[in-house]
Amino acid sequence: MDPRIKSAVKDTMNEKKRMSDTSDGTTDGTSDGPTDERRREVAKCPEVDVIQERQHFYHIVNSFKSYKLNGFKRMSKMYRYLDSLPQRHQQLLANYRQHLEDVCKAIDSNHKVIELIVEDISNLFENIDYTTPDPQSGDQWDSKSTKPQEPLDTDKVNSVFKQLVREWTDVGANERKTCFEPILNSIEEHFGECGDRSGVQVLVPGAGLGRLPYEIARRGFSCQGNEYSLFMLFTSNFLLNKCKQRLVHTFYPWAQHFTNNMRSADQLTAVRFPDANPSDLPANCDFSMAAGNFIEIYTEPSTWDCVSTSFFIDTANNVIDYIQTISTILKPGGIWVNIGPLLWHNSKFLF
């Protein structure tokens, strides 16, 4: 099983754009941003799309690779503040100093997992390689580069760790049961009695780290996961293509979380993954992942027997776009199985 990821060029860059756009249409809330007319001109230029895609790819890789650097910079500030306290106060906090040392060890351990995630990214997409020199600009990928990133990027890496807990560890089993089991039961109810399950085509937009499409494929259905975020795609590629056994890796998902801990030790909880073998699939299984914007790459009518969405539709700027796309791509008699959402990613712009 090798669910290679096919890139829909020009789509993943929009993730970063959506995060930086403001509700009034400017880039940063000032009048210095590009005009709407200029944006339209840029959008018509495919070369710009390719350049931006490549830059965004590098940016995400550097975000992963700078996790340790940014983490240690934060820890250095905490050490300096601790050292600035009166000596008698430092003596009272001797255990806390040891805790900070343990946090540093956990960050270093997480960095080793990150190195595994990004070490083979040249093979991430089957139809494009961003690690080769750019024929237009001459930019060349530097695998040794570790450029410092803004704290927001580190937050996104930490979010990947949280998602990893949810999807591929024993810790997330109850959450998966709540969210995934109703979807899996509905698919079984509608298609479980068909003679050839591999003939049932199931699409999972917003696939995250691939656990839901994996569970669908493990039951014998043909399934494709679709994901927009390179943070998720890098990690799902590692999980689905490189992890061949259960519980072979350990990480500390809350190492950089100093709040909402009942005990200091909770911050240093070690979690093993994956809790299931991603290679454990039927021999005739058709399982794949596709990168890109859901409404842009899935346009062919009547191609899917089932569309399954779990906490996905709130990622739309216009939820009706998603609903219309789902209606278009479903075969006659096909079903849409949905659970969630609760978050509504764009609520600060809409409400």
pLDDT, residue 10, reads 35
CA 283, 284, 285, 289 torsion-angle sign: positive
Domains of the chain: 5-350 (3.40.50.150)
pLDDT, residue 35, reads 42
* Segment (H or E) for 336: strand 330-339
pLDDT, residue 58, reads 85
pLDDT, residue 40, reads 39
pLDDT, residue 50, reads 64
Q: How far apart are CA 134 and CA 141, in angstroms?
A: 9
**Contact yes or no for 340/314 (Cβ under 8 A):** yes
| CB atoms near residue 342 (< 10 Å) | 6
pLDDT, residue 27, reads 34
In tens digits, the chain (351 residues) has pLDDT values of 455 455 443 333 333 333 333 233 333 333 343 344 433 343 444 455 667 777 888 889 889 999 999 999 999 999 999 999 999 999 999 999 999 999 999 999 999 999 999 987 766 665 455 555 555 555 555 555 555 555 557 789 999 999 999 999 999 999 999 999 999 999 999 998 888 999 999 999 999 999 999 999 999 999 999 999 999 999 999 999 999 999 999 999 999 999 999 999 999 999 999 999 999 999 888 999 999 999 999 999 999 999 999 999 989 888 999 999 999 999 999 999 999 887 776 666 655
Residues linked to residue 224 through DSSP beta bridges, in sequence order: 203, 288
* Segment (H or E) for 194: none
* Segment (H or E) for 303: none
- Amino acid (one-letter) located at 244: K
Name the nearest CA neighbour of 302 among 329, 336, 323, 335: 329
pLDDT, residue 59, reads 86
Task: Tell me: cis bond preceding 151? Omega within 30 of 0 counts.
Answer: no
The residue to which tokens 């500030």 are assigned? 77
